[in-house]
Structure formats: structure tokens, C-alpha cells
Amino acid sequence: MLVIIDGVYSQDGDLAPLREIIALCKKYGAKLMVDDAHGTGVIGKTGRGLIEACDAWNDVDLITGTFSKTFGHIGGYVVASEEMVNYLKYQSRQHLFSASSTPAALAIVKAIELVDEEPLWMSALHANIQYFRHGLLALGLNIGNTESAIFPVRVGDKIKNARICHAMQQKGVYANQINYPAVSMKDARIRMGVTALHEKAHLDEVLNVWADIKKEFSL
């Protein structure tokens, strides 16, 4: 039996209750796989994700993630025991029929090193997360239980959601329109992400647009 979870959930930005899930896996003899694509470089004291934040290195059997977010490249990775990795090498068609990485993949190695060498970026990201969260909440917008750099503003109606997304683009703000089947039918939202390179002026501009959108669409 294998339990598969995200560390940070991509549409809500909330965190998995990892400790509780680990306890259940141990109780029922299940292996645990954590995909921390949205937590790496964001969550944990040194950016190692939710597993670091929960000090659960010895309780997770497989760790998966992506190089396309924090590390600014393409591709992904699997971290597991030697036995498990060898099994995946010979049983995964995606691996068997894939081509070797190009020399550009060395950028990933440097990006991983920079997570440790330049912690100021994670500090800047956390400051922006707190600032943006406070601003959205001050406007009375529903952002759910996000605890990461992902901010969903819940709209509910998919038609209104599409109109809001278009209006934001007209006002100079690009955001993702998330509708069914990415989320449930009545849980449409506008999804945004904050980075370390955003300045407060950028965040304020978005918050001002949201203030206008709230009035215009009676949110």
C-alpha cells in the first residue's frame, strides 16, 4: 500500500497534515510518498520543504519534486532507497525511454547550492508572503487556508471567475483562472504566486487592483 500526498497543495496553498498521515501509514503498514514541488525552497528552516519542517526524514519512503519552480529549470526528481530507485529505473517507461539530460542541467546543481548559499532570498519571499496575505485579508477576500507562496482568491462561480480574470488583465495584472476540473464545480478561484523578486510596490499594485475588483464584482 502506498499513500501519495503533496507537501504544499498547488491550488489551495495549504500544507498536508504530515505528522497525522505518518501515524496512519505506520498503523496500517503503508509506505508514504510526498511530492513537495511547491514546498521546496519555500517551507522549512533551510528550504527543504514540509518534510524538514516536520522533521520527518526517516518517516517518508519516497520524495518527489520538480526542477521547474525553485530551481528554475525543467524536469523532476525522485529520492528514495537504492532498492526503490533501481525498481523505478527498470519499471518506469517514462525513464526507460527518456533521453539523457543536456549540459544545461548543471544549472540545477548551482540552483540547489544557492538555496544554502543565499538564504536572503527565502527571507525575502517569506516577507512578501506575509505582506501579501495581510493585504488580501484586509480587503476581506477569501484566500482559504494557504500557508505558502500560493494565493487563491475564491470566487465560486466560474463565469464570474473568468470575468474577474479578464478584468485583472485589463488592469495590468496577470493571474491564473482556475476552474473545474482543476477544482470542484463551485470552487472557482483566481490563483496567484508570490516570489522573492516581487517588490512591495508590485504587491501594492495588485492589492489596489483587487480593491477595485471587489467593488466592481461585489465580492
> 207-219 pLDDT, tens per residue?
999 999 999 998 8
pLDDT at residue number 82: 95
What is the pTM (predicted TM-score) of this model? 0.89
pLDDT at residue number 95: 78
156 in helix, strand or coil? strand
Can you tell me the distance from the alpha carbon of 211 to that of 216, in angstroms, rounded to the nearest whole number?
9
pLDDT at residue number 203: 98
Domain 120-217 top-level CATH class:
alpha beta
Question: In the chain, how long is the greatest CA-to-CA distance?
Answer: 57
pLDDT at residue number 27: 97
- Catalytic sites, residue numbers: 10, 38, 69
Domain 2-117 top-level CATH class:
alpha beta
In the chain, the N- to C-terminal Cα span, in Å, equals 44
Cα dist from 45 to 9, 53, 94, 96, whole Å: 19, 7, 33, 36
Can you tell me the distance from the alpha carbon of 58 to that of 67, in angstroms, rounded to the nearest whole number?
23
Given a contact cutoff of 8 angstroms between Cβ atoms, the answer to whether 63 and 78 are in contact is: yes
**Where in the chain are the domains?**
2-117, 120-217
pLDDT at residue number 20: 97
165 in helix, strand or coil? helix
Bond prior to 17 in cis (omega within 30° of 0): no
> 75-88 pLDDT, tens per residue?
899 999 999 999 98
